[in-house]
């Protein structure tokens, strides 16, 4: 019996209560009754195994690196090699191979994690098609989790476009065809009435961040239905890699209420519900059940991030749940925060304060109006002017032209604050000529809309026009970096949503910045979690923007950049987390007391480390 337990079940038990003993022995008995197969335990019925909440040994980076690999059971032989949370592949030492019955199951060579990383990067660079790189990275994540995150952290500038925009857009479009192993939770209309039960099917209990989408507005690609799961999976990979949130505490969720995409409905490989989208009461009831179940199952302090919902649902969901749940909409609030940071930094290059500038947006959806509102709040904070006044410096153009007061009655509610007094103007070019903005921001989701005439008009009355082409993926960008620098004769301050290569113009090389939400949401999430915040406040978003802008150094400005490089993203995230947490404590929204003395140091100490553990 002792040999059996040693080979098949390694349970580290800190026995505190008789009830815990009974649960553990019941599991052992269950294992033996199942003929000695490795135990698949339902942790809903199991107490504390190792004296820590983190059953994967993923505690903060300062934790002792010497552990015994286990989840609820296991950790020897073939099963260990198939467990992505503990598998190290060829990095298992000879001693570990003997201790965990791996002899003969691996080739004799022993590789360091660094050598494994070098080999994988060599292999990834052989692929010419970005989607192949994406699939290889997803396969690695399902095979060796720590190596996946080590690879992503150490090569973030090269791999970020692979695991997220722009490649994730193509991955979502083809998700049914490339689907192999399910990631995250799929909650469809079939699960209505039993969502709490579905949440309990997820093996991890200590969830801190949920990213949820209903797939209706994936990037600039439209309704991709159930195949939008690539977005929550990608976002949460960045929460871990860039913000240090433990993988086991992250939960990707897709709410499947159908799709209006005829191509998908007729696609034999489509993986979602084959029906038109549910709307109205049926939709609202499903979301209400989901939000209630999340709070019931994971508690008050789980952060729910809404991702890629269509405008008509995004604003309503954020307004409805922001007072009762810890919720954050990355398209509305995250995009706003990262763009505001870029604008604050750009002031070093163009001069003046935010209040001295005039802003014109192409696009009045959740991204555009979210950015506009945060800019207005920051100007109000700086000048003490009422926000109703500061909004008047910001103008928006939608598909019907400039948003003006004469259109107010026909506007959606989120556009009405931006309906200012002005004669009607139909197109973007006419709006640029009439208003003479200093900053032009694209959030329309429509490519090639910053035409040569529009950009040249901006350059005609601005020495250094600020042009932000934010729409994703690359094909939907309002203009390319090359177009912006060429049409402004190298004078513009340019940033985009998707990355562009450096541009050479008149013998000078211009490096454009990327207004990527990945600068903000990982650090923001870490700050919310480590402070135990119970609600998100607008001032926390302003704090995140200001912190990011502060980290742009003179060497970056000298290159025309308004964002720091991603190479130091974990340090950037730690500083953002510290500012967000400080604001949460200041506002009385933090529940983790007492407040740490050094919040930056505390943030870094909380971060997940992808370095391999040494197994006993």
Q: Which residues are catalytic?
A: 164, 235
Strand partners, 466: 439, 493
d(CA 280, CA 257): 11
Q: Residue 543's closest CA among 245, 351, 341, 370?
A: 341
SS3 335: helix
Q: Which residues of 49-59 are buried (b: 16+ CB within 10 A; e: fewer)?
A: beeeebbbbbb
Pick from 431, 413, 414, 409: which is nearest to 422 by CA? 431
Long-range contacts (CB closer than 8 Å, 24 or more residues apart) made by 78-85: 78/105, 79/38, 81/105, 81/106, 84/141, 84/142, 84/143, 84/144, 84/145, 85/56, 85/58, 85/145, 85/247, 85/248
Residues in contact with 554: Cβ distance below 8 Å, sequence separation at least 6, in sequence order: none
Gap between the Cα atoms of 529 and 447, Å rounded: 37
Specify the residue for token string 């802003």.
359
β-bridge mates for residue 359, sequence order: 394, 439
Q: Are 484 and 492 in contact (CB under 8 A)?
A: yes
Least Cα distance to 455 among 442, 444, 467 occurs for: 467
Q: What is the rounded CA–CA span in Å between residue 44 and residue 515?
A: 42
Structure-token match 């504390």, residue found: 48
Going along 153-302, which residue ranges are E strands?
185-188, 209-213, 250-256
Task: Please spell the DSSP secondary structure of 138-165, one letter per residue.
Answer: HHHHHH-HHHHHHHHHHTHHHHHHHHST
Q: Cβ neighbours of residue 59 under 8 Å, at least 6 residues apart?
A: 52, 246
Q: CA 171, 450, 509 angle in degrees (round to 5)?
A: 80
CA 454 – CA 551 distance, rounded (Å): 32
Cβ-Cβ contacts under 8 Å for 409 (sequence gap 6 or more): none
User: What CA–CA distances, in Å, run from 331 to 307, 417, 469?
Assistant: 7, 19, 15
Which phi and psi (to 5°) does residue 164 adopt?
-135, -150
**What is the three-class DSSP state of 414?**
coil
């Amino acid at each position: 019996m002792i040999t059996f337990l040693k080979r098949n079940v390694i349970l580290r038990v800190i026995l505190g209560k008789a009830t815990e003993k009974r649960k553990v022995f019941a599991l052992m008995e269950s294992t033996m009754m199942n003929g000695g197969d490795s135990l698949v335990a339902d942790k809903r019925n199991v107490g504390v195994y190792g004296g820590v909440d983190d059953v994967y040994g993923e505690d903060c980076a300062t934790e002792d690196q010497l552990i015994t690999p286990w989840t609820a059971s296991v950790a020897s032989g073939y099963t260990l090699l198939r467990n992505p949370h503990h598998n190290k592949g060829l990095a298992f030492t000879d001693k570990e191979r003997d201790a965990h019955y791996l002899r003969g199951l691996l080739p004799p060579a022993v590789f360091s994690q660094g050598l494994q990383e070098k080999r994988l990067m060599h292999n990834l660079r052989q692929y010419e098609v970005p989607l192949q790189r994406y699939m290889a990275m997803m396969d690695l994540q399902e095979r060796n989790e720590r190596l996946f995150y080590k690879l992503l952290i150490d090569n973030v500038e090269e791999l970020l476009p692979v695991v997220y925009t722009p490649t994730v857009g193509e991955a979502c479009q083809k998700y049914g065809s490339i689907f192999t192993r399910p990631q995250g939770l799929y909650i469809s209309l079939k699960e209505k009435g039993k969502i709490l039960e579905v949440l309990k099917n997820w093996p991890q209990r200590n969830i801190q961040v949920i990213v949820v989408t209903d797939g209706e507005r994936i990037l600039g690609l439209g309704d991709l239905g159930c195949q939008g799961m690539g977005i929550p999976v990608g976002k949460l990979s960045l929460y871990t890699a860039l913000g240090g949130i433990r993988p086991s505490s992250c939960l990707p969720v897709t709410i499947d209420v159908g799709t209006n995409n005829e191509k998908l409905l007729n696609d034999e490989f489509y993986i979602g519900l084959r029906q038109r989208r549910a709307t109205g009461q049926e939709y609202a009831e499903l979301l209400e059940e989901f939000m209630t179940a999340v709070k019931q199952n994971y508690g008050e302090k789980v952060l729910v991030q809404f991702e890629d919902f269509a405008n008509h649902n995004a604003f309503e969901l954020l307004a409805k749940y922001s007072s009762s749940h810890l919720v954050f909409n990355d398209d509305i609030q995250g995009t706003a925060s990262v763009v505001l940071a870029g604008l604050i930094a750009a002031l070093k290059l163009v001069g003046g304060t935010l209040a001295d500038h005039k802003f014109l947006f192409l696009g009045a959806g959740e991204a555009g109006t979210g950015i506009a509102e945060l800019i207005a709040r920051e100007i109000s904070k700086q000048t003490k002017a009422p926000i109703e006044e500061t909004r008047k410096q910001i103008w928006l153009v939608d598909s019907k032209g400039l948003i003006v007061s004469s259109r107010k009655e026909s506007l959606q509610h989120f556009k009405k604050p931006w309906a200012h007094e002005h004669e009607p103007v139909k197109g973007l070019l006419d709006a640029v000529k009439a208003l003479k903005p200093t900053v032009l921001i694209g959030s329309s989701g429509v490519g090639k809309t910053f035409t040569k005439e529009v950009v040249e008009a901006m350059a005609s009355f601005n020495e250094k026009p600020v042009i932000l082409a934010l729409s994703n993926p690359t094909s939907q960008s309002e203009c390319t970096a090359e177009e912006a620098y060429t049409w402004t004769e190298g004078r513009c301050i340019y940033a985009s949503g998707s990355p562009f290569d450096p541009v050479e113009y008149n013998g000078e090389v211009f490096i454009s910045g990327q207004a990527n939400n990945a600068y903000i949401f990982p650090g923001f999430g870490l700050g919310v979690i480590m402070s135990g915040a119970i609600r998100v406040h607008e001032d926390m978003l302003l704090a995140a923007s200001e912190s990011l802008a502060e980290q742009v150094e003179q060497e970056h400005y000298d290159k025309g950049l308004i964002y720091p490089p991603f190479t130091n993203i974990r340090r950037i995230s730690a500083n953002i987390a510290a500012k967000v947490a400080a604001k949460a404590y200041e506002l009385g929204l933090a529940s983790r007391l007492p407040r740490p003395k050094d919040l930056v140091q505390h943030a870094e100490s909380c971060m997940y480390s992808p370095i391999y553990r040494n197994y006993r």
